[in-house]
Chains A and B, each alone.
Chain A
Amino acid sequence: MKLQKVIPYLFVSPFFILYAIFGLYPTIYALYLSFFDITGIGKGEFVKFNNYINLFSDSRFIKALWNTTYYALGSIFIILPIALVLAILLNSKYIEKLKGFFTTSFYLPLITSAVVVAIMFTLVFDTEYGLLNALLRSFKLPTYRWLQEPKFGIPTLIILGIWRYAGINALYFLSGLQSVSEELQDAARIDGANKWQSFWYVTFPLLRPVTLFVVVQAIIGSYNLFAEPFILAGQGSGGAGAGDGMLMMTAYLYVNGFRFLRMGYASAIGFILMIIIFILTLIQLKFFRMGEID
């Protein structure tokens, strides 16, 4: 029957229709725009690859690209290992009763709005009246001008990132840890492996799918990060921070597109962002599939 064949398409079509209009069309149109020099309203001028060429000689864009990459590296090599340690702690049988409380608590920062988080952290990172420096002072440790010095821009964001994202990633790792059977670890232990060896050679390889997911999420999240740096950096610097120390690619796209109305230039930034995410994700997929047994 003809109708029977059409029905499944009716079920899935709302997504594809809406995506075609509000997702695909703008993406393609952005590619088109990225070859034009358009400021504000008007037709603009076809400039071939000039927007892309100009971006790579634009020192603020290079700065944004570096900052974003620096943050992404911090996410992968600082935030995620902390998350893994947290997950191992959460997986301990000693805390069975409190597990629900701990996991809920670590989930809280993620579901709080990024704007609220950034507002809260203006009081954490404040040089004189901030919680972090007060804590450092009480331990007789050196304090820093977190929000004023360009070189602290990204480390500050990474500290915030630990607070906000280590918990959720720990929960991802935890879901992976729970699917690793205890017998396997026991077997390793019987064969003479110590705790560390049995984790490194037995458990960690089995976490590969979760690790892949978490790393890809961290990369995508890092390159899309907008609200926290934008608010924390403050309006005075146009959301870029002192000396552009917190200037991220998305903020630079926003400022170009919606403050300076450089539509073509902003679209080119968006495309570079997309290409970076694509390439890094593909590398990850390849890297993690490499040692797979099946």
Chain B
Amino acid sequence: MKNLNKLIIFLSLTIGVLITFLPFVYMIVCSFKTNAEIYTLPISFIPKKFYLENYHRLFTEIPFARQYFNSTFIASVQTVLNVFLASLGGFGFAKYNFKLKNFLFIFLLVTMMIPSQVGLVPLFLMMNWFRWIDTYWAIIVPGAVSAFGIFFMRSSMMGIPDEILDSARIDGASEFGIFSKIILPMSTASIGILAILTFTGSWNNFMWPLIVLSSDTKMTLPVGLTTLMNLYKIEYGMLMAGSFLSTVPILILLILVGQKAFIRGITVGALKG
């Protein structure tokens, strides 16, 4: 009975994992197939021959390398800004008492409920007015800080004892000095989690970049990939190659540093929210 239970649990989870991996594997397989071969029955998980032309065409027919740089640059800058500003805000809410604290914190929580799509049209008009359309600015600046980031950093900084701050003050440290020399080094674990979450969020962001980026040399990867699907022709082989390459950094993050961090990051929201 016990062994049977064990087997059933193990088997169902294994099937679940196989289903999870299958589309990924098939995507990678198809990136080495010609378009004609993708549309051939029976479905095969082994390409007839390792067809590399999809990858070659990806780098020659569209500015894929440039788009890779765009995504990396935007995600990195956004991550640094978010981590810094969220740490500042989180510190302010976690370690100080001030008159408007409760009001501002509730306001912050309410902003998390407002879907960003509501202000999409005016935000676009604003970007147009700033002459930021088709520039990195339009993505980086409005996304420089998130309410979630502050909420997340606050939760972790609340655990730092006040005595440490007080003794630093007696030693004559400035408030910003306390923040940069004591609080930040003590929060590296949370900073790492927030950095990973922000980076992947920015890397995968689609709707807003689709709206504000129009030239292919400015596009991020998700937007650039959609240019391979137009009304007249869908380049499946290239799409699969591009999708695979654009997922590689995320896969590396998940395998190397992310696993525990990702899971800790997401559960903070669930347990405290």
A residues engaging B (CB < 8 A)? 5, 7-12, 14-16, 18-19, 22-27, 29-30, 33, 86, 89-90, 92, 94-95, 98, 100-109, 111-117, 119-124, 128-129, 131, 134, 163, 167-168, 171-172, 175-176, 179, 209-210, 213-214, 220, 223-224, 226-227, 231, 234-236, 250, 253-254, 257-258, 263, 266-267, 270-271, 273-274, 277-278, 281
25 A-B pairs whose Cβ atoms sit less than 8 Å apart in the complex: A8-B101, A12-B92, A23-B114, A26-B126, A27-B118, A30-B121, A86-B13, A92-B9, A94-B6, A94-B9, A98-B13, A107-B262, A111-B253, A113-B247, A116-B243, A116-B246, A119-B239, A123-B27, A129-B39, A171-B263, A214-B270, A267-B118, A267-B122, A271-B118, A274-B114
Residues A86 and B230 in contact, CB atoms below 8 Å apart? no
Set of chain A residues within 8 Å of B179, measured between Cβ atoms = 11
For the A-B complex with A30-B118, A109-B20 known, give 13 more contacts whose Cβ atoms are closer than 8 Å.
A8-B97, A11-B91, A86-B16, A103-B263, A115-B243, A119-B229, A123-B240, A175-B270, A220-B113, A257-B124, A267-B118, A267-B121, A273-B115
Q: Beyond A89-B9, A257-B121, is A112–B204 a contact (Cβ under 8 Å)?
A: yes
Shortest Cβ-Cβ A-B pairs, 8 listed: A26-B119, A11-B92, A8-B96, A113-B204, A115-B222, A26-B122, A29-B122, A12-B92
Residues B121 and A33 in contact, CB atoms below 8 Å apart? yes
Please measure, in the bound complex, the distance between the C-alpha atom of A128 and the C-alpha atom of B124, giving whole angstroms: 41
Set of chain A residues within 8 Å of B5, measured between Cβ atoms = 94
Please measure, in the bound complex, the distance between the C-alpha atom of A120 and the C-alpha atom of B21, giving whole angstroms: 11
Please measure, in the bound complex, the distance between the C-alpha atom of A277 and the C-alpha atom of B115, giving whole angstroms: 8
* Contact among A24, A116, A236, A270 with B225 in the assembled complex (CB-CB below 8 Å): A116
Would you give the shortest CB distance from A163 to chain B, in whole angstroms? 7
B150 within 8 Å of A (CB atoms): yes
Set of chain B residues within 8 Å of A89, measured between Cβ atoms = 9, 12-13
B residues engaging A (CB < 8 A)? 5-6, 9-10, 12-13, 16-17, 19-24, 26-27, 30, 38-43, 85-86, 88-89, 91-93, 96-98, 100-101, 104, 107-108, 111, 113-126, 141-142, 144-145, 147, 150, 175, 179, 200, 203-204, 206-207, 211, 221-223, 225-226, 229-231, 236, 239-240, 243, 246-247, 250-251, 253-255, 258-259, 262-263, 266-267, 269-271, 273
* Contact among B23, B104, B124, B142 with A124 in the assembled complex (CB-CB below 8 Å): B23
* Contact among A26, A103, A116, A168 with B222 in the assembled complex (CB-CB below 8 Å): A116
Closest A-chain residue to B45, C-beta based? A131
Residues B266 and A171 in contact, CB atoms below 8 Å apart? yes
